Structure 1
């Protein structure tokens, strides 16, 4: 349904979109999934930055070689 009203000097257009209620849970699930993915990507990014800032001695303490740390820190956040 679309209505157009003309009011003197300006014209405003109001568009009404009808959405079936059955799609609302799907949209909510999609938005929640997207939010969760963004939080996960942020956590990976922060942990990889922290890993790249560790010294060789600190890496040895947690059982990771500097090469492994560089490889992990260089990975993109979405992987």
Structure 2
């Protein structure tokens, strides 16, 4: 829509500390939308363990979900696409 989007974070607990990719930058996405008119098509979330990124996943605007392309590592966001189920 023009003025809101819902991005669910699969595997993330209420305030982080879960096994899912819980690090992402929604503030920059919102600033780009409000100040530059560029609404986010998706965002990338990361799972960090011992200061190393071990997994990235796209966060898709509802009702879309991230679907694995079938090729490449399941730990890399580039191998997923946002699709409507």
TM tier relative to shorter chain: under 0.3
Work out which of the two has the higher radius of gyration on C-alpha atoms and give 1 or 2.
1
TM-score w.r.t. the length of structure 1 is 0.22
Structure with more of its chain in helix, by fraction: 1
TM-score w.r.t. the length of structure 2 is 0.21
